[in-house]
Amino acid sequence: MGVAVVENSQSDSRRNFLSKVWIGLGGVALIQFFYTTFHFLGSEKKSTANQKEERIQAGAIDDFAPGSVTFIPAGQFYLSRLGDGGFLAISRKCSHLGCSVPWVADREQFECPCHASIFDRTGNVIKAPAPRPLDLYSVSFEGFQVVIDLSKPSRRSAFDKGQVAYPGELG
């Protein structure tokens, strides 16, 4: 009888140990599952990878009169040339909920059709609910060409002079 009891407690502890191993392995498997799922879902889609050119030429510097706002269809953004000759490449995507914001030439402002946010020619908010100015793309100049880098729009909390790009001779 005594032997049987010892055997029982031995097999009990072995069983305990094995079930702990199983639970541990299950935990590891679960972590692996979530890790791979997360990375799988985060992978870049084929159709979006080559959709947009990263850098595009908007045109010659002199094509854009100071004080004008021009929509550049190739990159889906506005090129705003300020009165002092500086350039801003402004995203058309409303900073509130992502609607496409048209430039209303009559009133010289961007007016969002979804929730009536209004932005000035620098993208600054004139009227809420938009929480921040329209995003910017970085502008550079190659020869006489205005070149815009579309890889990453940058957020800003307000307009300031530092965001404006000036062609070399004015700069």
Partner 1 sequence: MPRNLLLHFRPRRIPRAALRFSLTWGLGGMAALLIVQQLVSGLLLSFFYEPQPVHAYQSVVHIQETVFLGRLMRNMHHWTGHLLVIVTLLHLLRVFVSRAYQPPRHRNWLVGLGLGLLILIANFSGYLLPWDQLSYWAVTIATSMLGYIPFVGDGLEVMTRGGEEVSGATLQLFYAVHSGLVPALLILLMAYHFWYVRKAGGVMITVGQKSGQSDGKESVEVVPELLEREVAFAALVTCCLLLFSMAIEAPLGSMANPQLTPPAVKAPWYFLGAQELLLHVPAFVAVFVLPLAILFYLVLLPFIDRSSGKSSTIIRAIFYFALAALSGLTAIGICFRGPAMQWVWPW
Under 8 Å CB-to-CB from 142, ≥6 apart: which residues? 57
What x/- string results for residues 46 through 75 when contact with partner 1 is judged by CB under 8 A?
-xx--x---------------------x--
Minimum distance between the CB of residue 158 and partner 1, rounded to whole angstroms?
A: 18
Q: Which stretch binds partner 1 (CB under 8 A): 21-29, 43-51, 59-67, 140-148?
A: 43-51
Decide if residue 42 touches partner 1 (CB under 8 A): yes
**Residue 64 CB contacts under 8 Å (≥ 6 apart), including other chains:** 58, 70, 79, 81, 87, 146
Residue 98 is a binding residue for partner 1 (CB under 8 A) = yes
Instruction: Give whichever of 20 and 152 is closer to partner 1, judged by the CB atom.
Output: 152
DSSP collapsed to 3 states, 64-83: CCCCCEEEECCCCEEEEECC
Q: Does 99 bind partner 1 (CB under 8 A)?
A: yes
**151 belongs to the binding site for partner 1 (CB under 8 A):** no
Nearest-approach distance from CB 54 to partner 1, in angstroms? 13
At its nearest, how many Å lie between partner 1 and the CB of residue 55?
16
Q: Could you say which residues in the range 101-140 bind partner 1, by CB under 8 A?
A: 101-102, 111-116, 129, 131
DSSP string, 11-67: HHHHHHHHHHHHHHHHHHHHHHHHHHHHHHHHSPPHHHHTSS-SEEEEEEGGGS-TT
Report the distance separating Cα 136 and Cα 147, nearest Å.
13
Q: CA-CA distance, 95 to 12, in Å (whole number)?
A: 63
Chain positions contacting partner 1, by CB under 8 A? 41-42, 45, 47-48, 51, 73, 76, 93, 96-102, 111-116, 129, 131
